[in-house]
A and B are shown apart, each in its own frame.
Chain A
Amino acid sequence: DAKTTQPPSMDCAEGRAANLPCNHSTISGNEYVYWYRQIHSQGPQYIIHGLKNNETNEMASLIITEDRKSSTLILPHATLRDTAVYYCIVRVAPNYGGSQGNLIFGKGTKLSVKP
């Protein structure tokens, strides 16, 4: 079972920041928080991941609380193309030798960006 809890759906106005929350209260010390999104009829797309520090890349920012029990994915200026299902996933760090932790998806948050 997924180790995360996300709201089933959210709306966001185009051009505004989209803040997607995720609860992972049982996260272990060696587990990372990963975010993927899936646009309709496409395969999931990697967005960002982090362990305990906040992370930022060209797509989004990831804010992880100090106790690591929750996180927020921030899309700073949402566009209509950001409409998708967003998945928050907790997984162990992949190890060398091929023992890479698989991704356990929940149902995610369906984000609708509206004009």
Chain B
Amino acid sequence: DAGVTQSPTHLIKTRGQQVTLRCSPKSGHDTVSWYQQALGQGPQFIFQYYEEEERQRGNFPDRFSGHQFPNYSSELNVNALLLGDSALYLCASSFLTGAGDEQFFGPGTRLTVL
């Protein structure tokens, strides 16, 4: 059973460009969350998708957008990249049960903006 997978592993972009990151959730999971982790900091919540809709959003500008597909996979898009967008981008998937949920994280995509 594959866990959460993310692509690409590493990415280098220049300021002003746009980037798309991809996530495939763990088998059986229906909810995908995205986090941004700057160097030396804990992950920061960007948004969460369930049933192809954005359900919750953290304190991130509209340059950050996402999508969830019918197969539950998800994309994170960032427009007009800034140097400060350089970070590890983590995807987490989960499935809500009566006992709560645990979020399974992927290995992340390391984005460098030059």
Measured CB to CB, the residues of A under 8 A from B are 2, 32, 41-46, 49, 85, 87, 93-96, 98-100, 102-108
Contacts and interface: CB of A to CB of B under 8 A. Distances in A.
B56 interface: yes
Contacts, number: 69
> Chain B's interface: helix, strand, loop or mixed, by majority?
strand
Interface string B54-82: 01101000000000000000000000000
Given A99-B56, A102-B48, A43 B105 contact: yes
A103 B55 contact: no
Contact of A43 (B41, B51, B102, B106): B106
24 contacts: A2-B42, A32-B100, A42-B107, A43-B106, A44-B43, A44-B90, A44-B103, A44-B105, A46-B102, A93-B100, A94-B94, A98-B50, A98-B51, A98-B96, A99-B55, A100-B56, A100-B101, A102-B48, A102-B58, A103-B33, A104-B45, A105-B42, A105-B43, A106-B42
B51 A45 contact: no
Interface of B: 4, 31, 33, 35, 41-45, 48, 50-51, 53, 55-56, 58, 90, 92, 94, 96, 100-108
Contacts of A94: 94, 96, 100-101
A102 B31 CA distance: 11
A103 B93 CA distance: 12
Nearest to A108: B42
A42 B58 CA distance: 22
Nearest to A43: B105
